[in-house]
Amino acid sequence: METEGDPVGRRRIVLHPATAVARQQDRARSFGGHVRGFTVDGDDIDRLMRRQRLGALRVFAVAFVPLMLLPLVFAFAPDAATFRVGDLPPLAWLALGPVALFSIVGLAFVHARRASMREDDWISGHRDGPG
Amino acid sequence: MIPTLAVLGVTLATLVLGTAGLRYARTTSNFFVASRAVHPAWNAFAVCGEAMSAASYLGVPALVLVFGVDMLWTIVGWTLGFLLLSLFIAAPVRRFGSYTIPEFVEGRLDAPRLRPLVAITVIVSSWFFLLAQLKGAGVVTRSLLGTPYWVGVVAVGVLVAANLSAGGMRGITFVQGFQFFFIFLGILVPFSVLSALWWSDDDRDPIITDSTPVFLEATTATYPRTVEIDVIGPTAAVVDGVVDGVAVDGPFAFEAGRHRIGAATTIDWPEGAAVPHREGIEPLTGEEWAAPLGPKGLGSGHPLYFTYATVLASMFGIIALPHIVVRFYTNPTGRQARRTSLWVLAMIAPYYVMLPLFSALGRNLAPDLLSTGATDAATVVVPERAVDGLAAELLSAVVSAGATAAFLSTSSGLLIAMAGALSHDILSAGIPQFRRSVWLAAAVSIAAGLFVETIDINVLIGWSTSIAASSIGPLLVLGIWWSGLTRRGALATVVIGGTVTTGAVLITMFGLVDSGWPRAILSTPAAWSVPLAFAIGIVVSLLDREKVEQVAHKMALLHVPERSDAPKELV
């Protein structure tokens, strides 16, 4: 906002005072209620964070829990682990190779979609923010 | 000849591309985070180039070759780790906008004094990881060019440091993306050839045998360093070198029992002889090798515990590895960082799935590795033995180029993480300091790299990931997803988590416990140290009255999405 001492001919950007303050505060990282151009408060952020956390934990549980049961299955039913269909590798090799790994990739895609949707949802509830 | 040219080609291209990066790297931001302007796809290639390291490229086939199916839990754990990255780390870490993990910790907790401590943890865990890469470099160059072990270590260390101090992050992102293609092809091409062999020839199927490995044809084994081997029955072989302290040049009748083979000895084992395993490698029948939770597997007789420990250590190790996490800072927005992490998963899963085939065929094609102990060379040796003539040369060239790219690319990432922590978080920030830090870190690593020849790559990786997993891992997850984390909570997590894990690693390293539960627990600390570190962080933070100020704003910086990512109609 400083005008004096500007080199002659350089363009000055004039902001609405509220916007200028908001930008300054964002840059200084002091909590002024504005982040990335959105007006937010503590509860609001908490809700967003909790929603995202729950979503991520759910996806993680779907991948993690069955995999953690697998060693028990191998321990109590060793025949299942070494069972072979035709020339394919034994079941344990398939389960710990393509089956587990590609399922995890699929889950990650599902999560990314949902996480982006939750973000869009949140943004559409904050259209009134400055900037 | 062709493999040598391939290795030199990849090395030269790396140098040229790295130097080209020099033009772009003029600012600090460019140096550390490539000005946050890297396209998600190219960034994903770079992350893959970094994540597909000597540990997976050489280490996984070696581990599976020796211990069998139980070792697949390592790749399951790593994949889960990349899932965790995508779910919990990538987007918020990018949005917070720090250059390094220590800077993130300082910013999130207003804790300038915590910063150097976290930086030291970053440096130590990256260092163990880098030693593993340098060892890979020494082993591969020796097996390809016949040079002494130290040549590969020094050459790779100097090359990577030169490249990094020239181009910084911008240059290296470009180079790593390019190296990714070599790594992926280095596995994909031999995988296609080997799987065709697997389907066409029943004799190659190692799992149907109920005997321990035998030499299917007369095999010349070269023992690069002095080892003890267990000969199962009387065997007549031809020896050139030293056996049990006596120089031999000609036929030699091995009695059953343990024999000491001198360094650089070659032995011609006859067809049909049982493979004399190196001391410490348990001979497994095909069935034992293919079945999970075998009593002879790793884990000191506690295979179930060992399985869980492996998964947890690999999983948390990935999210805490600084050279991987630092990558997401180079994306333009949080959502793009998440997209990058997705592409990484989609490319790394098929890569992991292909690796065990090298071990399966290696049981028949390269059983001598179980005798020489040079199992880390399995990826390079198996494909060239599967075919003959020019095809073998070409296959070997592809694999070697991939291996070279693998350790060059990962070493660059590790060195940038170490030098970044050293210059940005401990010394004062700036490009000259960064350059000096690169050379300092490289010099220390090269010197140590010369002494790790006898330590398996994955042992080094295990130490590295365990230390990172029980200190930086919980700090990142709690810092991002729990507003209640306090400075004292973070301090307790890093100090206690890091110390107990390092202690356990040292106790195992010096062989202070050698059997039963104590060994099982101490040799795989992450299974208990990671939950312990989380618990300590939470309990201490809850008891701590000194909360972090303006925590809502910090959580907002982590989680509020960028407007530019949203569909137009919403904004």
Query: What ipTM was predicted for this assembly?
Result: 0.89
Is residue A89 predicted with pLDDT exceeding 90?
no
% pLDDT > 70, chain A: 72
Question: Cα separation of B122 and B320, whole Å?
Answer: 9
A102: Cβ–Cβ under 8 A, 6 or more apart, which residues? B349, B353
Question: Cα separation of A113 and B338, whole Å?
Answer: 10
Residue ranges of B 20-79 with Cβ closer than 8 A to chain A: 69, 72-73, 75-76, 79
- Whether the Cβ atoms of residue B527 and residue B308 lie closer than 8 Å to each other: yes
DSSP single-letter state for residue B214: B
Is residue B203 predicted with pLDDT exceeding 70?
no
Average of pLDDT values for B347-373?
A: 92
How much is the pLDDT for B27?
A: 56
C-alpha distance from A56 to closest chain B C-alpha (Å): 5
DSSP single-letter state for residue B495: I
How, if at all, do strands B227-231 and B277-278 pair?
antiparallel
- Inter-chain CB proximity A31 and B553 less than 8 Å: yes
Half-sphere exposure of B368 (CA within 13 A, CB side): 21
Query: Which of B559, B566, B467 lies closest to B93 in space, CA to CA?
Result: B559
- Whether the Cβ atoms of residue B532 and residue B497 lie closer than 8 Å to each other: yes
Question: Cα separation of B439 and B569, whole Å?
Answer: 50
Of the candidates B83, B291, B311, the beta carbon closest to that of A107 is on: B83
**Comparing B39 with B257, which gets the higher pLDDT?**
B257
Interchain CB contacts (distance < 8 Å): A and B: 166
Q: Which residues pair with B251 in a beta bridge?
A: B238
**Comparing B478 with A32, which gets the higher pLDDT?**
B478
Is residue B274 predicted with pLDDT exceeding 80?
yes
Query: Which of A83, A85, A99 lies closest to B290 in space, CA to CA?
Result: A83
Average of pLDDT values for B435-459?
A: 84
- Inter-chain CB proximity A30 and B79 less than 8 Å: no
Indicate the burial class of B451 (C-beta count within 10 angstroms; 0-12, 13-18, 19 or more). exposed
Query: Which of B532, B253, B177, A125 lies closest to B244 in space, CA to CA?
Result: B253
How much is the pLDDT for A1?
A: 42
At residue B171 the predicted structure's pLDDT band, cuts being 50, 70 and 90, is low
- Inter-chain CB proximity B291 and A78 less than 8 Å: yes
Of the candidates A93, A104, A109, the beta carbon closest to that of B72 is on: A93
Question: Cα separation of B422 and B436, whole Å?
Answer: 10
- Whether the Cβ atoms of residue A131 and residue B564 lie closer than 8 Å to each other: no
Question: Cα separation of B457 and B62, whole Å?
Answer: 9
- Inter-chain CB proximity B555 and A60 less than 8 Å: no
Question: Cα separation of B410 and B323, whole Å?
Answer: 8
Q: Which residues pair with B82 in a beta bridge?
A: none
**Comparing B152 with B571, which gets the higher pLDDT?**
B152
- Inter-chain CB proximity B87 and A116 less than 8 Å: no
Report the C-alpha dihedral over residues B332, B338, B339, B345, rounded to 10 degrees. 130
How much is the pLDDT for B374?
A: 85
Is residue B456 predicted with pLDDT exceeding 80?
no
Mean pLDDT of chain B: 86
B333: Cβ–Cβ under 8 A, 6 or more apart, which residues? B94, B95, B562, B564, B565
Question: Cα separation of B14 and B20, whole Å?
Answer: 10
**A-chain residues near B196 (CB < 8 A):** none
**A-chain residues near B346 (CB < 8 A):** 105, 109
What is the three-state SS of B243-295?
Answer: ECCEEEEEEEEECCEEEEECCCEEEEECCCCECCEECCCCCCCHHHHHCCCCC
What is the three-state SS of B525-566?
Answer: CHHHHHHHHHHHHHHHHHHCCCCCCCHHHHHHHHHCCCHHHC
How much is the pLDDT for B207?
A: 55
C-alpha distance from B571 to closest chain A C-alpha (Å): 6
- Inter-chain CB proximity B76 and A101 less than 8 Å: yes
DSSP single-letter state for residue A7: P
CA distances from B195 to A83, B205, B252 (A): 20, 11, 38
Question: Cα separation of B342 and B349, whole Å?
Answer: 11
- Inter-chain CB proximity B308 and A64 less than 8 Å: no
Helix intervals (H) in B421-497: 431-449, 457-469, 472-481, 487-492
- Inter-chain CB proximity A45 and B205 less than 8 Å: no
**Comparing A8 with B514, which gets the higher pLDDT?**
B514
Question: Cα separation of B173 and B46, whole Å?
Answer: 6
C-alpha distance from A40 to closest chain B C-alpha (Å): 8
Is residue A3 predicted with pLDDT exceeding 70?
no
B393: Cβ–Cβ under 8 A, 6 or more apart, which residues? B1, B2, B3, B384
Say yes or no: B208 contacts chain A, CB-CB below 8 A.
Answer: no
Local structure of B222: helix, strand or coil? strand
- Inter-chain CB proximity A101 and B91 less than 8 Å: no
Say yes or no: B285 contacts chain A, CB-CB below 8 A.
Answer: no
C-alpha distance from B344 to closest chain A C-alpha (Å): 9
Q: Phi and psi for B126 in degrees, rounded to 5?
A: -65, -35
Query: Which of B501, B553, B540 lies closest to B522 in space, CA to CA?
Result: B501
Average of pLDDT values for B549-559?
A: 89
Residue ranges of B 350-389 with Cβ closer than 8 A to chain A: 350, 352-353, 356, 360
Average of pLDDT values for B208-213?
A: 77
- Inter-chain CB proximity B552 and A107 less than 8 Å: no
Query: Which of B435, B465, B303, B428 lies closest to B31 in space, CA to CA?
Result: B435
Q: Phi and psi for B392 in degrees, rounded to 5?
A: -65, -40
Average of pLDDT values for B221-241?
A: 91
**What tens digit of pLDDT does each residue of B76-129 get?**
999 999 999 999 999 999 999 877 888 899 999 998 889 899 988 888 888 888
How many residues are present in chain A? 131
How, if at all, do strands B219-223 and B227-231 pair?
unpaired
Say yes or no: B339 contacts chain A, CB-CB below 8 A.
Answer: yes
**What tens digit of pLDDT does each residue of B523-545 get?**
888 888 999 999 999 999 999 98
Return the residue in B83, B93, B204 with the most chain A beta carbons within 10 A, the one to mutate for interface testing: B83
Of the candidates B205, B304, B566, the beta carbon closest to that of A120 is on: B566
Return the residue in B71, B79, B106, B344 with the most chain A beta carbons within 10 A, the one to mutate for interface testing: B79
Question: Cα separation of B332 and B329, whole Å?
Answer: 8
Lowest mean pLDDT among A76-90, B54-68, B261-275, B510-524: B510-524
Is residue B330 predicted with pLDDT exceeding 80?
no
Lowest mean pLDDT among A19-23, B133-137, B228-232: A19-23
- Inter-chain CB proximity A30 and B550 less than 8 Å: yes
Helix intervals (H) in B112-228: 114-145, 149-200
Say yes or no: B96 contacts chain A, CB-CB below 8 A.
Answer: no
User: Both tokens of residue B151?
Assistant: 């040549």
Of the candidates A38, A53, A90, the beta carbon closest to that of B481 is on: A53
How much is the pLDDT for A5?
A: 44
pTM attached to this predicted model = 0.88
Question: Cα separation of B63 and B325, whole Å?
Answer: 26
Question: Cα separation of B525 and B384, whole Å?
Answer: 38
- B347: part of which helix (H) or strand (E)? helix B334-354
Question: Cα separation of B338 and B345, whole Å?
Answer: 11
**What tens digit of pLDDT does each residue of A13-41 get?**
666 666 665 555 444 344 557 788 888 88
- Inter-chain CB proximity B87 and A56 less than 8 Å: yes
Token look-up 């140096």 returns B31
CB burial of B228-255 (b: ≥16 within 10 Å; e: otherwise) equals: ebbbbeebebbbbbbbeeeebeeebebe
Return the residue in B78, B551, B560 with the most chain A beta carbons within 10 A, the one to mutate for interface testing: B560
How much is the pLDDT for A13?
A: 62
**A-chain residues near B353 (CB < 8 A):** 97-98, 101-102
How much is the pLDDT for B351?
A: 96
At what angle are helices B40-51 and B389-420 packed, to 10 degrees?
A: 100
Half-sphere exposure of A25 (CA within 13 A, CB side): 19
Lowest mean pLDDT among B100-109, B233-242, B318-327: B318-327
